[in-house]
Amino acid sequence: MRIRGNVAIDLGTVNTLIWVAGRGLVLEEPSAIAVDATTGAVTAIGEAAEVLAEKEPQDIQVLHPLRDGVIADLDATAAMLNGFLRRARPHNGPLRPRALVCVPSGATFVERRSVIAALEARRPRYSARLIDEPVAAAAGAGLDLSGGAGGFVVDVGGGTTEIAAVAGWRVVRARSLRMAGNTMDEAIVHAARSNLGLILSQRAARQLKMTLGLTGGVDGWAETVGLDLAHRSPRVERVPADLVAAALEPTVTAIARSVQEMLSDIPPGLAEDVVRGKVRLAGGGAILPGLASQIEASAGIGTVVVDDPLRCVVRGAALILERRDKNVPGLAQ
């Protein structure tokens, strides 16, 4: 029986997504919270907080309480989650609902407990469970993991890249790289500062990344606005594609190399499932221009971007939550 009010949560470094049973995806907001520096009161969460980031309004501190896919500030995460869940309005009934939360496969015991603590700090009625992100990503990518079937997923998020072979709703081999979209953004910020004398915001760097990527985009350059390093005044600049590609290359190469190493370590019995199912790319980083082709060239196996990659993990968690299958680790507790 589906309990109205059950929620699946993709608690990400950059964005948080919430799915509610019977209603679908109801919230997709930046993982950000704005706090009054004087009183400590929460002034905004999500998109309303994110628009203030890097603009440095007086007496307001904008926090991003997750780092590398795990909680860095427990109190801020708890307050942010509470606000998101209030906005989602999931509870509707006397039964205690479940919350299935996705976590990186490499999260430690302490990091996993902090997720439970953050959810239950303000919402103690929930029965909280955790699911490894690669398993949720595989389900959201359309892989049928029942009956021992398997596949290979690469989930490129904001804080981590999850690379995993999965089978039968469980992780077979996994590697959690604490380098992903944010690492790429920071590399572009550094390259623009060093080579162009231009100080960029993270948001501007992210836009350049998705416009130019590894392929150079349509024009081979993109226009952006930052601060002139010497004069500290606003400046419009045409950023060449090769600068962005060079900045991205170390992170992309590390991801591709890790995929290749992971594929060389899978059990022989899983090889056919992986080849037939291909490497499936999920997460916001999956749509980076040129990433899929570079991984395919490195791994020697077909690589495809899943449908709606940004919502793949929460979609998979929702499917798992609805199954209520005793063989799914997160639901068997």
Do residue 13 and residue 128 come from a single domain? yes
Looking at residue 208, which CATH number applies to its domain?
A: 3.90.640.10
Given this model, what pLDDT does residue 92 score?
59
Do residue 301 and residue 152 come from a single domain? yes
DSSP string of 83-107? HHHHHH----SSS--EEEEEE-TT-
The HSE-up count of residue 54 (CA atoms within 13 Å, CB side) is 11
Do residue 130 and residue 277 come from a single domain? no
Do residue 173 and residue 297 come from a single domain? yes
Q: Radius of gyration over alpha carbons of the chain, in Å?
A: 20
d(CA 213, CA 289): 5
Q: Give me the percent of the chain exceeding a pLDDT of 90.
A: 69
Do residue 286 and residue 324 come from a single domain? no
Do residue 289 and residue 164 come from a single domain? yes
Tens of pLDDT, residues 301-330: 999 999 999 999 999 999 998 876 555 555
d(CA 132, CA 15): 17
Q: How many structural domains are present in the chain?
A: 3
Do residue 88 and residue 157 come from a single domain? no
Tens of pLDDT, residues 193-212: 999 999 999 999 999 999 99
Q: And the tokens for 196? A: 């162009």
Domain-embedded: residue 159: yes
Q: What average pLDDT does range 57-74 have in this prediction?
A: 89
Do residue 191 and residue 269 come from a single domain? no
Do residue 76 and residue 221 come from a single domain? no
Domain span including residue 62: 7-135+313-331
Domain-terminating residue out of 197, 219, 247: 247
Do residue 146 and residue 115 come from a single domain? no
Domain-terminating residue out of 247, 262, 285: 247
**Segment among 3-7, 248-252, 326-330 with least mean pLDDT:** 326-330
Tens of pLDDT, residues 132-161: 999 999 999 988 887 778 899 999 999 899
39 versus 147: which is more confidently predicted?
39
Domain-embedded: residue 2: no
Q: What are phi and psi of 119, to 5 degrees?
A: -75, -40
Q: And the tokens for 279? A: 């490497």
Domain-embedded: residue 1: no
Do residue 85 and residue 42 come from a single domain? yes
Q: And the tokens for 109? A: 């015991």
pLDDT above 90 (res 267): yes
Quick one: CA dihedral 105, 111, 113, 116, positive or negative? Answer: negative
Q: And the tokens for 87? A: 């906005």
d(CA 162, CA 173): 11
Given this model, what pLDDT does residue 1 score?
44
Can you point out the beta strands (E) in the chain? 7-11, 15-20, 24-30, 33-36, 42-45, 60-63, 66-67, 70-71, 98-103, 127-132, 150-156, 161-167, 170-177, 198-199, 221-228, 234-240, 279-282, 303-305
Global pTM reads 0.88
Looking at residue 94, which CATH number applies to its domain?
A: 3.30.420.40
d(CA 19, CA 300): 36
Residues 6+ apart with CB under 8 A from 313: 10, 12, 17, 102, 133, 136, 137, 140, 155, 282, 283
Question: How many residues would you count in the chain?
Answer: 333
DSSP 54: T
CB 133 within 8 A of CB 313: yes
Distances (CA, A) of 227 to 122, 183, 201: 41, 21, 9
Domain-embedded: residue 210: yes
Domain-terminating residue out of 225, 247, 269: 247
Q: What are the b/e assignments for 107-125, b being 16+ CB within 10 Å?
A: beeebbebbbebbbeebee
Domain-embedded: residue 266: yes
Do residue 128 and residue 40 come from a single domain? yes
pLDDT above 70 (res 91): no
Q: Give me the percent of the chain exceeding a pLDDT of 70.
A: 93
Residue for token pair 């309004």: 57
Domain-embedded: residue 318: yes
